[in-house]
Structure 1
């Protein structure tokens, strides 16, 4: 039994070690996408290169999901320390997930919250950041994140479902509204936003307009066209 467990553990470790370098050149699918394929549910995803996506969207996503994305090595150490302090103090915790940690979860783990999953996300995120440039990390994230209530994955499918448009040259309003869907795309509908969702989008837009160049590590020349 111990031998089988050791072999299973070795396999689980080997899968991301092998696949992360492969994903430098191969466009991956996520665990949620694979699960829907296996269970016969629809999956809609059209890959878009990062340079074919709106810079306003990139700035909105980074400033909403991970403002230190261009500065950290896969994990935001100060945010994680704050989460640990809140946990031991009995205060609510939010997860402190970076974009790279979310990518690790989508590619290799599961969505149900647990401390085990979080503990696995951390070394995976560090490894992904070590192997992949920031541009590729964000490109994969934007193309595999769940972005709609009916199996829409990636921002191209999300923009089509919400607005019937391509994710290029988005207005600030639409870029921010698309970003609001990321925490819960089955409930948050940017194409039919509630007043509360518009308020959240307004905060994201304001932050991205002011600090969006902090995401400039994903621009080919180091400057986003905002």
Structure 2
């Protein structure tokens, strides 16, 4: 009986603390993340408000990472199903994570897999989709995503690669940053070649699709 009481209290406190934490980050920029703290290359970051980031950048990550960002509730069930099928069949696995899930992981958790971390990721994804706006989710994503070695956020990335602010990124510049996002330590943004260059060019074309088909309607009215 004592154990049940303890677990019940733990659950209540866990929910209260995590809801308060997510609520705080709805208005306050996350000061640091576990990924940043564990980065042996140091931390270079510079927070930029959503209005100070080029629409090309937000549209580029929608095109590259999550075309259903404005229509799902944090989980792309079709992508998750395809990823599970590839895992079962032993094929090369694609990522099934949405931008919301990546924010949940990057802002509140740690890198790596495991069912426990995945469960927490799902929980925090639900919280941010419930408490935050889609615009806030995108704003946080663009500010804490790793954009290079020891570099976090598109503002720091834009300054590192193009010597300009994120608000001034062109379509191809934003596309190349987005193309490097899955593996920013391995994929070059400046002087991109091979796959990264081709993928960046594809994303640059898709940016127009995102704009014209209003796939960004939840963040740009």
The two structures have a TM-score, normalised by structure 2, of: 0.87
- 3-state DSSP of counterpart to 1:19: helix
Deviation of the 1:175 alpha carbon:
1.1
Change (3 A) 1:78 1:162: same
- 1:131-159 alpha-carbon deviations (Å, 9 max, x no partner): 1000000001100111111x211111001
* Alignment equivalent of 2:25, drawn from 23, 26, 37: 23
Deviation of the 1:79 alpha carbon:
1.6
**Cα contact 1:32–1:106 (8 A) shared by 2:** yes
Deviation of the 1:43 alpha carbon:
1.3
- 3-state DSSP of counterpart to 1:217: coil
Whole-Å separation in 2 of the counterparts to 1:89 and 1:178 = 32
2:96 alignment partner in structure 1: 96
> Greater CA deviation, 79-88 or 59-68?
79-88
- 1:116-141 alpha-carbon deviations (Å, 9 max, x no partner): 32232222212210110000000011
What RMSD in Å do the two structures reach over aligned CA positions? Answer: 2.3
Change (3 A) 1:22 1:105: same
**Cα contact 2:62–2:210 (8 A) shared by 1:** no
| Structure 1, gaps ≥5 residues long | none
Deviation of the 1:48 alpha carbon:
0.6
- Superposition map of 1:30-49 within 5 A: 30-36=33-39, 42-49=42-49
- Superposition map of 1:1-226 within 5 A: 6=7, 14-28=16-30, 29-36=32-39, 42-149=42-149, 151-212=150-211, 213-219=214-220, 222=221
Deviation of the 1:85 alpha carbon:
3.0
> Greater CA deviation, 87-96 or 65-74?
87-96
Regions of 4+ moved over 4 Å: 5-15
Deviation of the 1:190 alpha carbon:
0.7
- 1:160-205 alpha-carbon deviations (Å, 9 max, x no partner): 1111111123221111011112111111121231232110101111
Whole-Å separation in 2 of the counterparts to 1:162 and 1:11 = 44
Deviation of the 1:10 alpha carbon:
6.7
- 3-state DSSP of counterpart to 1:147: strand
> Greater CA deviation, 122-131 or 6-15?
6-15
Whole-Å separation in 2 of the counterparts to 1:116 and 1:84 = 17
Whole-Å separation in 2 of the counterparts to 1:108 and 1:8 = 19
Deviation of the 1:27 alpha carbon:
0.6
**Cα contact 2:63–2:206 (8 A) shared by 1:** yes
Whole-Å separation in 2 of the counterparts to 1:155 and 1:164 = 12
The two structures have a TM-score, normalised by structure 1, of: 0.85
